[in-house]
Amino acid sequence: MFKAAAKRRGAPRAPLALIVDSPWIPGYVGVSHLDYFLDPEIWFLANRKVIEDFPDVICFPSWWLEYGMAIEPSALGNRIHFWADQPPGQSPTLVRLEDAASMAAVNPRTDGLMAFALRRYETQKRRIFDAGYVIPVVAARGPLCLASFLRGVTELMLDLTEDPEGAHRLFGLCTQTVIAWLKAQAETIGPGVEGILVLDDIVGFLSARAYREFAHPYLKRICEAFPAEWVKVYHNDANVRPFLGELPDTGFDVLNWSHKIDAAEAREKTQGRMTLMGNVAPLELGVNGTPEAVREAARRVIEKSPGCGLILSLGGGVSMGMPKANIEALCAAAREA
């Protein structure tokens, strides 16, 4: 159903899909983040519980093995920080932009946390498949997001003006890393993989002109690295308004975008060339709202997206602390559509 909606092939109704990952899952099931990341049994049982508790939800990308936002930057040398009550963090280490020119290409089989994540997939995938589940999508942080981890957001924004050639070299390295990481996951999981999820909010910090120069070519390069029939999903819940009309030309099929841009506006600017995945407010409503308010907001999103071209979701991922009742409210709205 997700693929039919993503490819705009006349899904009978808008499916409900939620990006569920390490910020939310450990708290929901009542385990520490450290145990969730380090204990394969706890990781498996936690993911299975979420799937079983919400049978009407497409958990996206499904059985996602990610250490917060630490996997990709760890392979390029960032310092990684682990805590018991929140996902891992990381500190930038690329002090001089020119040093990126001498950084070797990443090998996902050996470098940083990528090697640990691939090993978890290797040891757990048969158990997942035997339980009747699939892992259809692989995921990665996008090139500008990764570059900001390495440099820091402020420094990266200055780089665009002060050393655009150096910024392009860094984005090239990061794009190469993203593609290699996605392919390594797909190869490890096996032929059931048929989609990618790329998350890159930093693109939303750019003007339309800067987007065309520093983001669009690299996002397009990622899409072109994978089969045309694969589902390609782009998450950006920052400000994509300046270039909404250009995003479909990257090759992504689906946009998971911010609740701050109305669904009708997003639909008009993308001209039906992307499926919209969203866009109920994840914090104001998802975490802090009442089930009734969540349900009503979901109804409004559906009403503004008649016909195919919508996957009901939050305007972002499931945030830490989102209660079960509010997810059930989304399920109710989807059933009523």
Query: DSSP state, 16?
Result: B
Query: DSSP state, 104?
Result: P
The three-class DSSP label of residue 328 is helix
Element (DSSP H or E) covering residue 293? helix 291-303
Q: Tokens 């750019």 appear where?
A: 206
Cβ-based neighbour number of residue 66 at 10 Å:
20
Positive or negative torsion for Cα 107, 79, 113, 20 = negative
pLDDT tens profile 144-185: 999 999 999 999 999 999 999 999 999 999 999 999 999 999
Pick out the chain residues at pLDDT < 70.
Answer: 11-12, 307
Measured CA angle at 122 (ends 227, 58), to 5 deg = 60
The string over 108-125, giving b where at least 16 C-beta atoms fall within 10 Å of a residue's C-beta and e elsewhere, is beebbbbbebbebbeebb
What pTM did the predictor assign? 0.96
Look at residue 214 in the predicted model and tell me its pLDDT: 98
Look at residue 337 in the predicted model and tell me its pLDDT: 79
79 Cβ contact partners less than 8 Å away, ≥ 6 residues apart: 90, 91, 93
Measured CA angle at 215 (ends 214, 218), to 5 deg = 105
Look at residue 11 in the predicted model and tell me its pLDDT: 65
Domain 2-336, architecture per CATH: Alpha-Beta Barrel (3.20)
Look at residue 12 in the predicted model and tell me its pLDDT: 67
Look at residue 9 in the predicted model and tell me its pLDDT: 83
Amino acid identity of residue 166, one-letter, is G
Cβ-based neighbour number of residue 191 at 10 Å:
7
User: Does a cis peptide bond (omega within 30 degrees of 0) precede residue 40?
Assistant: no
Tokens at 88, concatenated = 């891992």
In whole angstroms, what is the distance from residue 215 CA to residue 210 CA? 7
φ, ψ for residue 276 (rounded to 5)?
Answer: -95, 130
70 Cβ contact partners less than 8 Å away, ≥ 6 residues apart: 78, 80, 87, 88, 89, 90, 113
Of 71, 25, 72, nearest in space to 46 by CA: 25
Amino acid identity of residue 278, one-letter, is G
Cβ-based neighbour number of residue 68 at 10 Å:
20
- By the 10 Å C-beta count (0-12 exposed, 13-18 middle, 19+ buried), 171 is classed as buried
Tokens at 24, concatenated = 């939310």
**189 neighbors 135 (Cβ within 8 angstroms):** yes
Strand partners, 139: 197
